[in-house]
Each structure stands twice: as structure tokens, then as C-alpha cells.
Structure 1
């Protein structure tokens, strides 16, 4: 048990990048670098004009330098290797790595004109700098997100060099060291590619907004508000966990950060009203993992999807909206059904905060989110400008909050201003620390994308297509399994980048061959969804380890239970591939969108009754066909219309049939329940 707790605590520390206990002057150094990074990113969105290449190099330089200063080489002490796991100071080796990595990352900007003049013909200095950058980037990535991404990047790199010596089916003409480094480190085709560009221009500001909201107390506010509304109902603590995690997911974009924010409040309450520790932790895991589905941040992948698919960011938000809300509604249904099976009631009145008092005390936290949505949806400003203005408003709100608290507590305005500055400074530092994993994952994934673009992408795509034997269902299954396996050791964003680069175009092409009009957006979201599900997939499932530490449950059973709860998310991913209406593809009518949304909600409710084996009472075998038929009709009416050779335009007239099936089984179970 102690070993398990130590492992989970290490995950929580790694998430907040607080592995090392630094000396005072080292704390100041780390704080200065983190704040400088935050100010640089804020200036990019306001007053600083810089070309995208230089912007990406500086972004990466900050991430590498900060990482080597706060993360030891090994997180646990090893015999004869204690110098690699120093946590009470920054060793000289890591100072050297931080400086070397930052300079190597900046090299493209420092010699920009010279490199442009000798494009494709790097000199010795270019090769040495590029080699140092690749090595230190992979080491930095290994330190913060584990070895998986670095190993995959190394395997792709080895394949690029050893291609001519591979068996015929895997043979590739290969590349030279100069060609490799020219693409990977000296151009925007590799490390400095689209993922890092999105990280530097957009993602940082959204992550910073989330960190500032968290430091200001927004996470606790959303949790308390959810408990005040839902706490007294059946399984209320679990329902509150779902709503709180969904609200926190609006600005968090990280499953583990979501668990750390809401879990300490919701998991003990779930256990108090009767949820077993495993199910309490699994509920938090499933709801926090799905926080990455919630626009606008979506685990940073939303912005990369927009770049890859070449659509405005709001199109990604539009496509992700219905699946995200339906997925959360499905988990809400699960909590209700679990409470019914276990006979769990709501929280006692004394444990539920007053709604109006809670809302009054935290209403100001909604203002920055309102500004963000107003800027994005009404004014149609760019995501970076919208996030910047929301952050500026949040700065004012934090200061107001502290002044208001000081007045109520009869303290001085000066102390309130100092407190406000401390919260803002703490948020800037935490935002930079939270961004390290995203920036480094995007840069390291750029190595893989760069190698794929050297010519092996088509060959890998051909191999994957051959494995699927042209069967779109088998292709989707292979993509899903590969995403789950790769995602066990990678952050969601990196998993999405790797899988989307390899399989998203194939999904679209194979679909066309067999008569399925699969939008490219659906293919990219499919890869993204299964990358998210890897967060609670055993045996790794980092989110499960984090939640189990709070719930005092076993991490592997917790991960399995969380994964079972998340089956609904995988079902949605398959469904919107074959029914693009669920992502509002080519749909702009509000009534039409609301009809699809309503049908999907009822369909999800029916599916969960089947999956949980319970509705009004325990299911009988003859209930199952009704639940499945209702769910399928409501999720994909076009398939039913095609089956009966109906006009496709008539498909939405079938929704009463889905309601009829669902209503019939409910009435059947009500009758059976009365007879018990």
C-alpha cells in the first residue's frame, strides 16, 4: 500500500512539476524563467511581433531550460546512481543541460539567415547543434512524460537510417544524417512543425488561463456549486463530481490536473454516502478524463486539429460539442444507475453548501469564461487574442477578489494587493510548469511527423491498410487499439499527433472506397478520443493512479472500472465516424442541431441502461434488444433508413420509434418492479 501511495504521489508531483525541493536562490531562478516565459507568451498576443519560426524556438528553449531545472534524471534513488536523482538542489549537470538545450533550441533563430542561405546543406556547426537538440529534447521528454514517446521517436529515427536494410515489405530508401537533421532540426517540417507552432501561439495562453483560474479558486467554486445543486439527490456526490469535472475541464485540459482539483472534495463525499472506494475513484477518473473532450481547451489538441484539418478553431468546437456533452450525460446516467443498484441516497443537508451563497461568492469566476466565449463566438476573434483578453480580465478579478476579502476581514488594501500579486505570480509560474509537458510532447512528436514526411508515411499507411484488408471497421479497430497502446505512455496530445499523422487520411480514403463519406474532422476526432481513453487504460492509466491515491483504492482495478465507465466514449467515437451528423458536419440549423442533440441524449441513456444492466430495476435478457434498438435508432437513424430503403431525408422521422422502444422497456420494468 505504501509503495502504491508513493507512486501515486509521484504522479501528482510530476503533474505540477514539483519533484525537486529547491534552495531559495534556485527557487528564484526557476520562478524568473517561468514568469519570463509567461510574459513572453502574453506579449506575443498583444505587443510583440515575431515570425512564427523564432516564436517556436524561444517557446521550446523556455520549456527545455525549465524542465532540466525542475525535473531530476531519475525520480527514485538507485544504487550507485544517486547523483541522477538529486531532489534537494539542481546539480551542475542539469544546469549544463538546461543551458545547452536552450541554446540548441534557439540555434535556428540565432543563425536564421545563414541557415536560409545554405538550406539543405548543413555545415558541421549545424549538425552538432541539431544532434544536441534531438538528444536533449528526447531526454527532457523522457523525464516529464516517461520513456514511451522518446522510444517511439528513436525507433522512427532508426528506421529512417536503416530503411535500406529492412525486409522488402518494410524497405525504405533511407536518409543521410544531413538530410535527417535538415528536416528535423533546421526546418519547420520536424521539431518546429505545426504542433509546436500551435503550442507556442495558442495552447500556452489557454493553459495559463486554466492555471490562473485554479490558483484563484475557481476549481473549488465549481465543485462546491455542483454539490450545492446535486448533492441531496440520489448518488448526488457522484453526480456533482461529473458536473464539477466537466466545468473544470472547460479550462483545465488535463485529466490528472482535473482529478487533483476536484477529486479531494468529491471522492471523500462519494465514499461517505456509500460508494466503494474503487467506484468513487473510477467515477472521478472517467469524469476528469472526459474533461479533455470539453471545448474550448480539449487537452490542447483542439487547436492542432484545427491546423491539421485547416478549418477555423470554432469549427472544431462545433464538431466536438455534441459528443462531449452526450458523453458527460452518459456518465451522469451511470452515476444514477450505480446509486440505484447500490441503494445510495444523497448527501445530508449539512454537507451540502447553500447554492445562492456559493454562487454569490464565486460568480466572478464566470466572467473570464464569459469574456472568452464572447470573444470567440460573438466577435470571432482569434483564440490567442480571446485567451489574452480573458487573462487580462482575470488579473483584475483576482485583485478585486483579494481587495473584497481584505475589506471584509478588516485588513489593509496594501496587503490585498500583495496577495493578489502573489496569486497572479503563482499562476504564471504554474502555467509555465503545466506547459512543459505539452510543449515538449509537441516538439518530440514533431520528430515522428518529420520522419513520416520524409517518405515513409505512404509506406506505413499502405501497411496499415493491408492489415485492415480494406475493411473500414477493422481499420477503425486497429486505430483504436493502437491509440490505446501508444497512449498508455504518452500524453493525449502526442498520441493524437502520432495516430492522426499515420491513420486519419487512411480512414477517410478507405471509407470512400467502400461508400462511407467520412469527414476528415471525424477521422481526427476519432484518433483524439481514443488517445484520451488511454489515460485510464490499465496497466499504466496515470489518471487511475492519481485518483486511487485520493480514494485509497487499488490503481489497476480502479483503472479497469474507469475504462468500463468510458466505454460510452468509445461508442460515440465509432458512431460519429459513420454518422457525421453527430459532429454537425454540414449542419448549421439550430433546430436541426438541437434535434440531433436530444436524440443523442436519449440514445445514450438507453445505451447506459444496457451497459449497466439496470434501468428501473435489474435488466432481464429480453430488455436488452429494446435498449440496443432504441440507442441505435436514435444515434444513427440513417442506417435504419438505409436498411429499409427509405429516403435519407426521412431518417429523422424515425426518432419516435426509438422513443417508443425505450419507453416500452421502461414501462415493462416499472411493472416488474411493482411486482417485486
Structure 2
């Protein structure tokens, strides 16, 4: 009887998932057949006008709307199909290399926030039914609380190390975890306007600056020295040979799209085991190049390989290769962040000690 009951419950639970998946399949098919995905990219590009922040804000809003009243599984399929390729493509055209996992987490995060956004948020209706409160008021209050976390997806878009991408060694991992933990606590203090005691406006500003130092140390390091320098495309095989195992080679490519537009974008290709032949390493990753004097053209991109998934286009030109510079680690900017936090901690401690004396007097 228990086994039969388990099959019964499992079948009932799968009904909702099956319907959601079937619906998502219809939507994906419609998007593919009508070319809506390409049109969506063009529309977002028109709205953003080349500004990455405007693009991300608009995509976050669209994902929020798409996620209204949609179950979790269908929600992810929908936003990942519609919006994830848009982020990757427009980010590459802006020179920003965004890992796919960061893109999918970004769109899914805002898609799932539709569950707590009135007037359609399903989670708010469930919470209101439990508490006996009004569903719309519950949704509004939940959305206000969630506003304090909407910045997080933007952080891992610009700093993929928060997703443990390109983290080398235990020392770097420990520094990253400690910095992110502290930044999260300080960010909560900023949004609540309370650290040890109620913060003054300038203390909130200092804490917010410390959060930026902890979450985006690479931004400040880029102001001093860029992460990459551009070398001629003819050196692509030498660069690919010297790249370490499972590391990536970054190229700037240019060519015509199927709509006839001239596009230039930055793409990264992860390579396998290190070896003496850079041409073979690129070929193993699915990319074959044709050197034409000082110029290099993409000869073939094998279907389903890392090169195809990274956005390489057959027939396009490689205009340059980006190689890492010998700059210091951005983690040095954790030190000014700690100084700012300690300054506010000390100043608020003085106010805490002064309060009992005033009351006693």
C-alpha cells in the first residue's frame, strides 16, 4: 500500500511539472520558428544604445515580467531561452566576457522574483493564506524587502569570481569567501541604516564604499591597470600554446551577421590540457583558424564544441588577442575596505559609550 501510495503521489506531483514543461516547449518552439529571439536582441540593443548597465536593467525588468505567475521550471526555461542569449551577445559586443553560468543565474534570479511581486506573485498568495493578511499588501512588503538583494546578480555579472570562476588556489578562495561574507553583512547594515547604532549619512556612505571595494575590487584595479592588453592576431597560436590547462584565450573578432550588420565582439575560449602546439589546442576546442599574412580568419567552428558555444562565427576575422597583464591581485583593495569598516565601527563605538553617560547625567 505504501508503494502504491508513493506512485500515486509522485504521479500527481509530476502533473504540474509536465504541464509546465510542455507549455515551455511550445513557447521555445514558437520563439525558434518565428525568430523572436533575434528580434529580442535587436530590441534590447536599441533600448540600451551600447550601455551595459541599461541593458542589464532592462533585461532584469523583462525577466521579472516574464516570471509573473509562471512555475519555477517553466520560468527558467522561458527566461533562459529568451533573455540569456541577449545578455551574452550584447555583453560580448561591449567587450564584456560573461560566463554562461553567471548569465543564467542572472536571468533566473529576476525571473523567480516574479513569485513575490504583486499583483501576480504566487508565493505572496500562499504566504497571505497562511498569515491571514491581504495578498497585495503582503506582496508589496515582500517586494520592498527583496529590493535589498536586487543588486547581487549585477555583482556576479561583473565579478564572476563570486561564482568561484577563475579562482586559483586555496589562499585566493579563503580571501574571497571572507570578503564576500563581510560585504554581505556590511551591505545589510547599509540597507538598514544601522551598524552598531543608527548610522549617520556619512557613515552609510563609507560603508557603501567599503561594500564596493569588497564586491568589485577589480573595478578599481582596472582604473590603475587593465586586466588584458591587446596583441596582434598573428600571435594567436603562441598565446594558445602558453595558456595553462583549463584556462581561456580571449580574442576580439569582427564580421557580418546574417542581417548584414558589421559587428565586433570579444569572446573567450576555454582550452584543454596544455601542450606544445597551440593550433592543436584550438582545434581540440572546435576552432580552426586560417592565417592570411598578418590577418587571421576563422575557417571552421565545429558544431556543439566549446568554440561554437562561446560565440565564434565562421568566416569572421580575428582582429586581436587579449593576453593578461602582470598586474597585482585586485584583492589588495580589501585593505581600504577594512579600514573604512573599522573607522565606522570605532566611531559608532564612541557614540555607544557616550549614551549611558548622558543618560546618567
**TM class, shorter-chain normalised?**
0.5 to 0.7
2:197 alignment counterpart: 617
Cα offset for 1:476?
0.9
Higher strand share: 2
Q: Is 2:345 the counterpart of 1:666?
A: yes
2:332 alignment counterpart: 653
SS at match of 2:57: helix
Cα offset for 1:505?
1.7
Q: Is 2:28 the counterpart of 1:449?
A: yes
Q: Is 2:141 the counterpart of 1:535?
A: no
SS at match of 1:585: coil
Query: Where does 1:160-179 land on structure 2 (aligned, <5 Å)?
Result: none
The whole-number CA distance in structure 1 between the counterparts of 2:172 and 2:108 is 26
Cα offset for 1:471?
1.8
Cα offset for 1:557?
2.6
Distance 1:640 1:427, change over 3 A: farther
Q: Map Cα deviations across residues 150-189 of structure 1 (whole Å, 9 max, x no partner).
A: xxxxxxxxxxxxxxxxxxxxxxxxxxxxxxxxxxxxxxxx
The whole-number CA distance in structure 1 between the counterparts of 2:328 and 2:5 is 55
Could you tell me whether the CA contact under 8 Å between 1:535 and 1:541 is conserved in 2?
A: yes
TM-score after normalising by structure 2: 0.65
The whole-number CA distance in structure 2 between the counterparts of 1:485 and 1:460 is 15
Q: Is 2:18 the counterpart of 1:439?
A: yes
The whole-number CA distance in structure 1 between the counterparts of 2:171 and 2:343 is 27
Q: Is 2:154 the counterpart of 1:574?
A: yes
Could you tell me whether the CA contact under 8 Å between 2:65 and 2:111 is conserved in 1?
A: no
SS at match of 2:225: coil
Aligned equivalent of 2:93, options 513, 517, 524: 513
Distance 1:538 1:673, change over 3 A: farther
Distance 1:506 1:594, change over 3 A: same
Could you tell me whether the CA contact under 8 Å between 1:479 and 1:499 is conserved in 2?
A: no
Aligned length: 255
The whole-number CA distance in structure 2 between the counterparts of 1:480 and 1:431 is 34
1:95 alignment counterpart: none
Q: Is 2:105 the counterpart of 1:525?
A: yes
2:208 alignment counterpart: 628
Cα offset for 1:455?
4.6
Could you tell me whether the CA contact under 8 Å between 1:492 and 1:528 is conserved in 2?
A: no
1:370 alignment counterpart: none
Aligned equivalent of 2:124, options 526, 529, 544: 544
Query: Where does 1:359-508 land on structure 2 (aligned, <5 Å)?
Result: 422=2, 425-456=4-35, 457-508=37-88
The whole-number CA distance in structure 2 between the counterparts of 1:615 and 1:557 is 29
Cα offset for 1:588?
5.6
Cα offset for 1:564?
2.6
Could you tell me whether the CA contact under 8 Å between 1:483 and 1:531 is conserved in 2?
A: yes
The whole-number CA distance in structure 2 between the counterparts of 1:591 and 1:561 is 41
Cα offset for 1:674?
2.5
Moved more, 582-591 or 464-473: 582-591
Q: CA RMSD in A?
A: 2.1
The whole-number CA distance in structure 2 between the counterparts of 1:485 and 1:579 is 26
Higher helix share: 1
Q: Map Cα deviations across residues 642-675 of structure 1 (whole Å, 9 max, x no partner).
A: 1333765420122122222122212222222232
The whole-number CA distance in structure 2 between the counterparts of 1:589 and 1:439 is 43
Q: Structure 1, unaligned stretches of length 5 or more?
A: 1-420
Aligned equivalent of 2:140, options 560, 565, 579: 560
Asked which structure has the greater RCO (Cα within 8 Å, sep 6+), the reply is: 1
Distance 1:426 1:474, change over 3 A: farther
Could you tell me whether the CA contact under 8 Å between 1:504 and 1:523 is conserved in 2?
A: yes
Q: Structure 2, unaligned stretches of length 5 or more?
A: 227-325, 356-361
Cα offset for 1:426?
4.4
1:205 alignment counterpart: none
